[in-house]
Amino acid sequence: MLGEYKVNTVPWIETIKGVFQFVENPIPVIAGALNEYGPTYYTRIVNGKKLVMTVDPDVIQHVLQKNNKNYKKSEIQTKSLGKYIGNGLLTTNGAYWLKQRRLIQPGFHKAKLDALVKTMHIELNDYISDLKTRIQSDNKVELSMEMMELTLRIVSKSLFSTGIDASQIKNLGKVFTELQEYIIREVRQPYMGWWRRLNGSARKTMKLAEEVKDILREIIAERRRNPKDSDDLLDMLLNSKYEDNGQNMSDTQILDEALILFTAGHETTANALTWAIYELSQNPEMCALLSEEYVKCTNEGVNMSTLMSCSYNSMVINETLRMYPPAWILDRVALKDDLVKNIKIREGDLIGMYVYGTHRHADIWDNPDRFEPNRFCKKEMANLHGYAFYPFGGGPRLCIGNHFAMLEMQMALGGLMTNFKWEVDTTHHVEPQPLITLRPKYGIKMSAQILA
């Protein structure tokens, strides 16, 4: 798609100059290098290996799909993230990952999702009526905190049906933000580990992660004490059996997988919903189209098939995921030497697949910085490279929650746009911040007015 091109190496001096800015905000640093050195470039990293940064859909498809067996997730995910959220689907490689994927995948099949949609809908309606009560006295809201609360409520009901105590939800939103900020510092400034140990932040962060685990541990223990048929994801985790030996997962495995679903399942969707409402609030005609369609399509009730018929709504979400991909970069490490196009990859090299950059590449998209949902209509999509748009990754490690997330976001967006008029506070500075997910650095200040 981007054709053949020369692959350049960023000079040492440039790499060193960019280090501090990279820690602060990697987006302009990577954008500058792509501009200067082309769609795939090499950066030397300290251990003699290279970082191969790419936005090229052919290279990305090769790594994630065609030759995926030659690549594993890096220690950023398996160790740095795994240390806090446990060893499970998102944070393991190889045979163990495959075993877990086979075990957990059925929990996300169509019939299961249908049941989860009902749960999500009840929770969304509860949230909407709570928000209506709250904004009667003050209609100013901070959108990203609101969306975090909503998606935490939805994912905890989908996982544990009983949900998590309302007072704990708000606290959890803050804990996840702190965890993310710390983990990203660990990844971008590995050489400052001594300082983090000295100033106590390493210990404090581990304690925060333990607090979240304690909450989940108690929910799991309670379910074991009082088993009930719940049709939730915890039930699926507790009851699924390995094909080879017919055994269930241990308590530690269940805790790890539950925490991973909990973490991966709320932050990503919260950010996408925040950016979608932010864009829609500035495009009233898109708002009107989405709301009209939602009312019409869900006239007979909100379920999987009525939600899937809201095609404009899904175009809006896709366009949001294009411009603001929550997982803005993906990584892999090469197990053996490899060649894709004319690009040499050596064993141990780190591949950075810069999702944000592919999604905004001017050779792939017309007016890439313009929010334009119509570009996702079927006709336009037919000509698009399969890896020009990959917000959920690809190949065997494609996001396990992609359908769950799409249904959740379609329903939430429909409900939130038909019930409220959102207006952005234009005096407030909005800036994407690439932590583990892409979130608004200073939040997004809005006012919400009740419509229905």
Q: Residue 364 or residue 436: which is nearer to ligand HEM going by CB? A: 436
Q: Is residue 386 within 8 Å of 297, Cβ to Cβ?
A: no
Q: For residues 41 and 357, give the distance between their C-alpha atoms in angstroms, rounded to a whole number.
A: 13
Nearer CB in complex with ligand HEM: 61/269? 269
Does 265 help bind ligand HEM (rule: CB under 6 A)? yes
User: CB 36 → ligand HEM: shortest distance, Å?
Assistant: 27
Pick the piece of the chain touching ligand HEM (CB under 6 A) from 23-31, 120-128, 206-214, 399-407: 399-407
Residue 392 is a binding residue for ligand HEM (CB under 6 A): yes
**Does 86 participate in binding ligand HEM (rule CB under 6 A)?**
no
Stretch that binds ligand HEM, among 52-60, 188-196, 338-346, 385-393 (CB under 6 A): 385-393
Q: Return the sign of the alpha-carbon dihedral for residues 19, 24, 27, 31.
A: negative
Using alpha carbons, select from 388, 387, 393, 395 the residue that is nearest to residue 331.
393
Decide: 340 and 362 in contact? Cβ < 8 Å: no
401 binds ligand HEM (CB under 6 A): yes
Place of tokens 């992660």: 209
* 10 versus 81: smaller Cβ distance to ligand HEM: 81
CA distance 190 to 380: 43
Tell me: does residue 314 bind ligand HEM (CB under 6 A): no
Rounded CA separation 452/447 (Å): 16
Burial class (CB in 10 A: 0-12, 13-18, 19+), 158: buried
Assess 440 for contact with ligand HEM (CB under 6 A). Answer: no
For residues 301-310, one letter each, b for 16 or more C-beta atoms within 10 angstroms of the residue's C-beta and e for the rest, the string is ebebebbeeb
Alpha carbon separation from 40 to 21, 58, 70, 133 (Å, rounded):
20, 11, 19, 51
- 156 binding ligand HEM? (CB under 6 A): no
Among 397, 412, 413, 422, binds ligand HEM (CB under 6 A): 397
Backbone torsion region of residue 38, taken as left when φ is above 0, otherwise alpha when ψ lies between -120 and 50, otherwise beta: left
Minimum Å gap between C-beta 387 and ligand HEM is 12
Work out whether 59 is an interface residue with ligand HEM (CB under 6 A): no
SS3 84: helix
Per CB under 6 A, 405 contacts ligand HEM: yes
Q: Which stretch binds ligand HEM (CB under 6 A): 25-33, 78-86, 166-174, 392-400?
A: 392-400
The stretch among 140-148, 205-213, 374-382, 401-409 that binds ligand HEM (CB under 6 A) is 401-409
Q: Cβ distance 372 to 346 under 8 Å?
A: no
Residue 322 touches ligand HEM, criterion: CB under 6 A: no
- Count residues near ligand HEM (CB under 6 A): 23
Examine residue 269 and tell whether it contacts ligand HEM (CB under 6 A): yes
Q: Does 260 bind ligand HEM (CB under 6 A)?
A: yes
Least distance in angstroms from the C-beta of 61 to ligand HEM: 13
8-state DSSP, 8 = P
Segment (H or E) for 142:
strand 140-142
- The 99-138 contact track toward ligand HEM, x by CB under 6 A, reads --x-------------------------------------
- Alpha-carbon dihedral 390, 395, 399, 405, rounded to 10 degrees: 50
Question: Does the footprint of ligand HEM cover residue 345 (CB under 6 A)?
Answer: no
Q: Could you tell me if 176 and 65 are in contact, meaning their C-beta atoms sit under 8 angstroms apart?
A: no
Residue nearest ligand HEM, Cβ-based: 401
Residue 200 Cβ, how far from ligand HEM at the closest point, in Å?
31
Q: State which H helix or E strand residue 420 sits in.
A: strand 420-424
Report if residue 61 touches ligand HEM, rule: CB under 6 A: no
Q: What is the end-to-end Cα distance of the chain in Å, rounded? A: 46
Binding site for ligand HEM (CB under 6 A): 73, 89-90, 101, 260-261, 264-265, 268-269, 272, 326-327, 330, 391-393, 397, 399-401, 404-405
